[in-house]
A and B are shown apart, each in its own frame.
Chain A
Amino acid sequence: MTAAISVQNLTRRFGRTVAVDRLSFDVQPGAICGVVGPNGAGKSTTFRILCGLLRPTSGAAAVLGRDVTSDPAAVSTCVGLLPETPHFYPYLTGEQNLRALAYFSALSAPAARCAELLDLTGLTKAARRLVSAYSAGMKQRLALAAALLTNPPVLLLDEPTAGLDPIGALELRKLITSLAADGRAVLMATQALDEAERTCTQLIVLSGGQLRANVQVADLLAASGLRMRATPIAEAIRILGSLPSVRVAALSEDQIAVDPGNMAAASLVRALVLGGVDVSEVTSHRETLEHHFLQLTADRHVSIAEGV
């Protein structure tokens, strides 16, 4: 299957600064790929290259198999962009802004499409108000409507929930999920790791312009394990360590962390009890993306392509 977005060894320099450094990743249709990283990680530069606003210094980027540098005309018809901090014509209403962009895209039924998108983004009531009177959240929703005008199969959303209140962010996340469910590929930059955890199916971690991780969110979160209080702890580690696919590590004098692999928690407890170990507490421990992100961006030399 052709990847919706394919980036190979993408590099972009600004003078001596390397904003994006040999970046490679693929995003499949229907996936929501979160791009996270600290400020200056190269997120927006990657987005700008993918939508044709910037040319790469080297490497290649393709959308649905079309190269963004050599075939920008094809790419422009299949990409919808929601820029970070979207700007509109403040002297026009929301509807007029959207219509102007619809005319520009030469849509066959611009009025109907605009009405549909205003409804989808919950802006129908505010459609005839000047954009200058819109809140940040309303502008963000209008920007999403603008990105969806041509019904593009690939969406590039640069911090889509920035400036939204919690309810607005929740609604937008739902909308993004439903758009991906229709088969669209969504590449979404975000600073909010909880948002990425809740919305994304794939996660790309950038730091210093380089790829730190490219993982499936489900795999990352499945790495969660168990915490056990057991005595004597040395015996507990010996018993669990001898079991196939189980990994164990001591956390304190009486607490161990266990990656159960493909074994059930009850089987582990039974093995410990039969081995003469007292087990006083078993809790499941859920890793968060925040935990992984801090690990990944703390060490610039971490290599994580494995397991993807």
Chain B
Amino acid sequence: MFRSQRESDVIAGQLRSEWVRGRGRPVEKYTGAVAIVLGALIPVIMILVSARNATMRASALETLAFPASVSAAQTMALLLGPFWAAAIGGNIVGAEYQYGTWPWLLVRSASRTRLAIAKIVTGAARIVALTVVGTLIFVAVGAVVRVAFGLPAIKGAMAFGPMLIPFVGIGGAMAFAAAIALTITVASRSVVFGMLTGALALPLFSAIRFKETAFWIPYVHLENIQSRLLTGRANPILVRLYEFDMPARTSAAVIAIELAVVLGIALVVFRRQEIVY
């Protein structure tokens, strides 16, 4: 009567269920659409707005050449990424409150921790997939535009590492946006409030970035890690403004602890929360 299921089967089943339930969810669907549409449209817009200025047109075409186009996509991801990460991070739990569907999951799951982990893993996978797809589309459309103008799609060369290292900062900013959105959504049971807080985390932290507070600001650590990985030295701006000089590993540890604390708060609140139908 009491079936004993293998733990791996249960985890795989929950992950699959999460993925299926999120596939058609409006926030995820439209966030994905925005990432894809922007990835495809921005290169075209760059060409259109530079139509009357030869210098600007040349600059746009330079930007769209691979591997420079990867850097341009990174700029786009840094601006928009935290917003869609917050949307997904908040909505992955918020949708269950909004639709009143938690009871279906809670009566079937013996562990709320496992349920939360499945949601976090699936949300992270969605955010990564969205960023990769958006970047690839931007780079591909950029290449097509250059070819259309009779130019080679590739110009110059860049090592694989330096091309990808900026994604560390972007990924970190998105992870924090998503984690904060998730935690605030769980605590407030309001997906809108959670998303807004997550999306505004970067400017909020930037506003309180001083010499005294720099150690606690995750984005300072992310900049430090990026700089150390790219140049092997401390970021001169961080050193000058905040006297911030720390090994990359220490910064990584601080970030990991801060993320764990944020998600830990969400887990504690979620485990104690009374959710009924």
Contact = CB atoms under 8 A, between A and B. Distances in A.
A76 B277 contact: no
Nearest to A143: B104
Contacts of A83: 103, 277
B236 interface: no
B103 A106 contact: no
Nearest to A48: B276
Interface in A15-59: 44, 48, 51-54
Contacts of A86: 277
Interface in B224-277: 274-277
B99 A103 contact: no
Interface in A184-239: none
B13 A106 contact: yes
B166 to A, nearest CB: 35
Contact of B20 (A84, A87, A100, A107): A100
Interface stretch (B58-66, B107-115, B169-177): B107-115
A52 B1 contact: no
A99 B20 contact: yes
Contacts of A104: 13-14, 17, 104-105, 108-109
Interface in A122-169: 146, 150, 153, 158
Interface stretch (B3-11, B39-47, B139-147, B184-192): B3-11
A77 interface: yes
A261 interface: no
B277 A53 contact: yes
A104 to B, nearest CB: 4
Nearest to B105: A104
B12 A106 contact: yes
B101 interface: yes
B110 A103 contact: no
B26 interface: yes
Contacts of B110: 72-73, 76
Nearest to B8: A106
A106 to B, nearest CB: 3
A115 interface: no
Nearest to B104: A101
A88 B95 CA distance: 11
B161 interface: no
Given A53-B276, A105-B13, A106-B13, A89 B21 contact: yes
Interface string B1-41: 11101000110111011001100111000000000000000
Contacts of A89: 21, 24-25, 95, 99, 101
B107 A91 contact: no
Nearest to A87: B100
Band of interface residues on B? 20 to 34
Interface in A50-90: 51-54, 64, 66, 72-74, 76-79, 81, 83-90
Contacts of A44: 276
A96 interface: yes
A92 interface: yes
A66 B26 CA distance: 40
A166 B141 CA distance: 59
Given A77-B2, A79-B107, A54 B101 contact: no
Nearest to B106: A53
A91 B3 contact: no
B108 A101 contact: yes
Contacts of B3: 77, 150
Contacts of A81: 103, 107
A40 to B, nearest CB: 15
A14 B276 CA distance: 13
Contacts of B13: 103-107
Given A78-B1, A92-B20, A96-B20, 4 more contacts: A54-B276, A87-B100, A101-B104, A104-B104
The 3 A-B pairs at the shortest CB distance, nearest first, are namely A73-B110, A106-B13, A87-B100
Interface of A: 44, 48, 51-54, 64, 66, 72-74, 76-79, 81, 83-92, 96, 99-101, 103-107, 146, 150, 153, 158
Interface of B: 1-3, 5, 9-10, 12-14, 16-17, 20-21, 24-26, 95, 99-101, 103-111, 274-277
28 contacts: A48-B277, A51-B103, A51-B107, A53-B276, A76-B109, A76-B110, A79-B107, A81-B107, A83-B103, A83-B277, A84-B277, A86-B277, A87-B101, A88-B99, A89-B24, A89-B101, A90-B99, A91-B24, A91-B26, A96-B24, A99-B20, A100-B21, A101-B104, A104-B104, A106-B9, A106-B10, A106-B14, A153-B1
